[in-house]
Amino acid sequence: DAKTTQPNSMESNEEEPVHLPCNHSTISGTDYIHWYRQLPSQGPEYVIHGLTSNVNNRMASLAIAEDRKSSTLILHRATLRDAAVYYCILTARIQGAQKLVFGQGTRLTINP
C-alpha cells in the first residue's frame, strides 16, 4: 500500500480557512486519494475523495497537485466542530475503498 505523509498537528482559528497537506510521492496511477476525519470519541467520518481533478463538496475541497504526489484538504471556514484528526489515505481503484490504510493523521486544533 502506498504511503502518505502528514504533519502530526496543526492549529487554526475559528472562521479562518485551513489547508491540510498530504504527501504521497509513491502514488500509482490507479490510486484514489481519500480524506477521513475522526472527531473525539467517534468513528472516522468520510470527508472527500478524488483521483486527478480538484473536488468540492459541502464539507471541504480537495486540491490535487498536477503530478499527484501531493494533495491539500481545504476547510474554507473552520468551526470548533472541525477539531479532529484528519487522515489522508490512498486506495487502489480496483479495490474501491474497502481496505483503508490509515496513517497517524494530522490533529487539527481550532482556537475560538
Partner 1 sequence: KAGVTQTPRYLIKTRGQQVTLSCSPISGHRSVSWYQQTPGQGLQFLFEYFSETQRNKGNFPGRFSGRQFSNSRSEMNVSTLELGDSALYLCASSYHRTDYEQYFGPGTRLTVT
Residues found near partner 1 in the complex (CB under 8 A): 32, 34, 41-46, 49, 87, 91, 95-105
Cβ 16 to partner 1 shortest distance, Å: 27
Q: Which is nearer to partner 1, 43 or 112 (CB)?
A: 43
Owner of C-alpha cell 467517534: 42
Report, in angstroms and rounded to the nearest whole number, the Rg of the chain calculated over CA atoms: 13
Q: Which amino acid is at 82?
A: D
Helical residues (DSSP H) of 32-97, grouped into ranges? none
Q: Which is nearer to partner 1, 18 or 48 (CB)?
A: 48
Backbone angles phi, psi at 30, to 5 degrees: -105, 5
Cβ 5 to partner 1 shortest distance, Å: 14
Q: Which is nearer to partner 1, 95 or 111 (CB)?
A: 95
Cβ 67 to partner 1 shortest distance, Å: 22
Query: For residues 24 and 33, what is the distance between their CA atoms, to the nearest angstrom?
Result: 9
